[in-house]
Structure 1
């Protein structure tokens, strides 16, 4: 399914000019072309009144007759949009000028490429995806089944990778065929599969707290809240029961988002009871190879998986990754590559994800690590938005 970013000029004939239209300049300071990076605009950043409705605004590149795909987000669920999102394409070391136009928005069918939901029909997973990757993690019913020794449960706060190889949504389709007995997502029939084992590991980005040489972590999430789905972003919150790390009580919640075109989800961990966390990548059967660049702020693991290979990776903002631990143990599923991150104001932010050889352009460890390195440069040198006064 091809995604169309731009509206054609024919759609703008009835668009009214309004005094609240705004002009912004977006600058790319890096010597690389930029795309699939999300610009977030608020009423305040645009100099709009508090009564303005972001849903009524569209984004048009100056000098063209095309409108960019946009999405509005209500972060606090008060019924009022807080953000308008869009993804410009900007050449290396250059800038573009856009007009933010108020009026009747051009109409088109929107593809929900960035999607997430609670999945009660599969016990109580929470799953999310975009056009590149998919993930899931596990809720309290799955935990209780394990604790009550009922078959089919899952006890872990690790993050599972769903290895999709198509650009259209697969979450609902895969769960449906598993639920109605017409197929299984553990077998690849052309769209990908779930053959990524998590168990007690951290999977792709689960966290731990290290105390007295031992890693501690939470159990399954206890509650969830979907914030948004759409063409550009999905985001949601997972909350966990308080847990113990060698006598310290840890509180934890995760704000997770995944944007169009990215192989990495953004994790914003809100946590108390510790001054640092360890974000982990499972090492599975320890047949893979790791990579690390503390200065740039990324960790990588590249390993065989069935008849293919996969890279997992962690990227953090500059001066956040203090060290890493290639933690090897004979305990089942507990070997993880950990990135050690400081907690500041009860918060930690990192990006984590994967590139599967069959479902991505990354065919080698070197290509995967180049992506992580470039991703790190981009988050540390974000596109600069300036409002014309």
Structure 2
């Protein structure tokens, strides 16, 4: 991958050239081990910056650089502020590591006064979209998503054309590896073209309505699933070459007398078809994440022991797979919920909250026309491998 020769730093997506000659002495060696029998890539390793021993890490005296010891070349990395205090505290990178092997990396500070900074486009990107009512959209090199805000909800409630009332997750079917969100919105809003037409990059033709789309949540009471309305506020945490992350907050919603609060922390890493959802919930100890069944013409797949559900269906002139993976054995059941009510038929995975009151799961899709997955078997194999990698994360050590 050509991008492995670049080093991207921090929220601004900068990389530094010529740093090999100007690096500070190495403070730490990082060793990453793959215990599985398969090669690993596009998996994110995170290291606490405090553990690297840099008093001024990420500050005025230097920027963190990670060197692959085998090639002596810098690899792609990103520093993030994981706790929201305004200071970067974690560095992310994605090693390509063979089965049953270990890789070594040297960590140093580049001399920021000598390094040349070059602007770069964040490959993992999200933003609020006020020009299209008030969407929130996010993407990486493989997939794109969006969901809807309070103005879109009010338009529906006031019977104004163009609104959307849904906390479901929409899928934008891209088939290129470069960013398309800004380009597609501009195409839709400022030209005679439309993102509903595929001119080579993909299109928006995935119907969400009031369904759960690709990973929206609901709570069942009796024979009915209840869910929130549109998000009420948003906060983008960061974009970058490795990960984008943001938080969506929702008004409290009623589930047959239970008052449920919901705050979604969503992130998407480079190379992944699945967004990570960490949802803080109050008012229940279980929640259900769903996949829309559309016209119920597809095929479901479920493995509760592995913690995944899947729906592969025909989609216009192609096919699409939807999936949810629940880690840590927290999937406690599932249901294929079918009803005559429009957009309310969904395949649900029931999720037990962690001790911290959060439901954690991964949800996303694979579109056949993107050539990433050509059939149901390939899609479900991806979900199986994804689940196995969550159970066997890359082992990181320092010495």
- TM-score scaled by length of structure 1: 0.95
Q: Distance in 2 between the 1:349 and 1:10 partners?
A: 38
Are 1:292 and 2:302 matched, yes or no?
A: yes
Match of 1:116 in 2: 126
How many angstroms does 1:65 deviate by? 1.9
How many angstroms does 1:109 deviate by? 4.7
Q: For residues 169-202 of structure 1, what are the alpha-carbon distances to aligned partners after superposition, in whole Å with 9 as ceiling and x for unaligned?
A: 1100110111113211111111100110000100
Runs of 4+ more than 4 Å apart: 105-109
Cα 1:10/1:346, change in 2 over 3 Å: closer
Match of 2:191 in 1: 181
Match of 1:354 in 2: 365
How many angstroms does 1:24 deviate by? 1.1
Are 1:224 and 2:234 matched, yes or no?
A: yes
How many angstroms does 1:83 deviate by? 1.3
How many angstroms does 1:74 deviate by? 1.7
Q: Distance in 2 between the 1:94 and 1:183 partners?
A: 49
How many angstroms does 1:316 deviate by? 1.2
Cα 1:290/1:230, change in 2 over 3 Å: same
Q: Distance in 1 between the 2:70 and 2:366 partners?
A: 37
Match of 2:11 in 1: none
Q: For residues 54-74 of structure 1, what are the alpha-carbon distances to aligned partners after superposition, in whole Å with 9 as ceiling and x for unaligned?
A: 771110011322101111112
Match of 1:212 in 2: 222
How many angstroms does 1:48 deviate by? 4.6
How many angstroms does 1:102 deviate by? 1.6
Match of 2:104 among 97, 108, 114: 97
Match of 2:141 in 1: 131
Match of 1:6 in 2: 5
How many angstroms does 1:366 deviate by? 0.2
Q: Distance in 2 between the 1:319 and 1:7 partners?
A: 38
- Report the 3-state secondary structure (helix = DSSP H, G, I; strand = E; otherwise coil) of the residue aligned with 2:22: coil
Q: Distance in 1 between the 2:218 and 2:228 partners?
A: 8
Match of 1:64 in 2: 71
Does the CA-based 8 Å contact 1:226-1:237 persist in structure 2?
A: yes
Q: Distance in 1 between the 2:190 and 2:37 partners?
A: 51
Match of 1:150 in 2: 160
Match of 2:346 in 1: 336
Q: Distance in 2 between the 1:248 and 1:240 partners?
A: 15
Q: For residues 47-105 of structure 1, what are the alpha-carbon distances to aligned partners after superposition, in whole Å with 9 as ceiling and x for unaligned?
A: 554x5337711100113221011111123443310211111000001110111112326
Unaligned segments of structure 2, at least 5 residues: 8-15
Does the CA-based 8 Å contact 1:114-1:259 persist in structure 2?
A: yes
Q: For residues 10-45 of structure 1, what are the alpha-carbon distances to aligned partners after superposition, in whole Å with 9 as ceiling and x for unaligned?
A: 834422333x62101101111000000011111244
Unaligned segments of structure 1, at least 5 residues: none
How many angstroms does 1:159 deviate by? 0.2
Cα 1:3/1:169, change in 2 over 3 Å: farther
Cα 1:240/1:188, change in 2 over 3 Å: same
Cα 1:3/1:280, change in 2 over 3 Å: farther
Q: Distance in 1 between the 2:191 and 2:166 partners?
A: 26
Does the CA-based 8 Å contact 1:132-1:360 persist in structure 2?
A: no
Alignment of 1:1-389 (within 5 A): 4-7=3-6, 11-18=18-25, 21-49=27-55, 51-53=56-58, 56-104=63-111, 107-344=117-354, 345-388=356-399
Q: Distance in 2 between the 1:47 and 1:315 partners?
A: 36
